[in-house]
């Protein structure tokens, strides 16, 4: 899984890398990951429902870290990265 912060610029990947790592947003499994703050899960569930207009949502699931005050455990991040091709993350206040 490639994690990108859209607030920072990035060099465009070569077409070879894009083809090998591209996410198929209409079919690949997606994890909705929240920081456990109030309403984060509800926000992401709303996104999931709206995605239903464009794709099947049976392989879009939700996960959250234990506490908004602590980082997600490295083992949790590693496990999610193995299982999902993309993530939508709710981390802002």
Element (H, E) at 49: helix 40-51
Residue 10: pLDDT above 80? no
Q: Is the pLDDT of residue 8 over 60?
A: no
Reply yes or no on whether the pLDDT at 80 is more than 70: yes
Q: Is 60 or 5 the better-scoring residue by pLDDT?
A: 60
Each residue of 23-79: pLDDT tens digit? 888 899 999 998 888 888 888 889 899 999 999 999 999 999 888 888 888 899 889
pLDDT of residue 62: 92
pLDDT attached to residue 2: 57
Q: Are 1 and 81 in contact (CB under 8 A)?
A: yes
pLDDT, position 9: 53
Nearest to 91 by CA among 2, 1, 22, 5: 5
Asked whether the predicted pLDDT for residue 16 surpasses 70, the reply is: no
Helix (H) or strand (E) holding 86: strand 86-90
pTM: 0.72
């Amino acid at each position: 899984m490639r994690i990108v912060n859209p607030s920072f610029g990035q060099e465009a990947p070569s077409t070879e890398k894009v083809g090998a790592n591209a996410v198929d947003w209409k079919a690949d499994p997606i994890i909705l990951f929240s920081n456990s703050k109030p309403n984060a899960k509800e926000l992401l569930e709303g996104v999931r429902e709206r995605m239903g207009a464009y794709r099947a949502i049976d392989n879009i699931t939700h996960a959250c870290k234990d506490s908004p005050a602590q980082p997600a455990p490295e083992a949790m991040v590693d496990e999610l990265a193995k299982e999902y091709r993309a993530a939508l993350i709710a981390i802002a206040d």
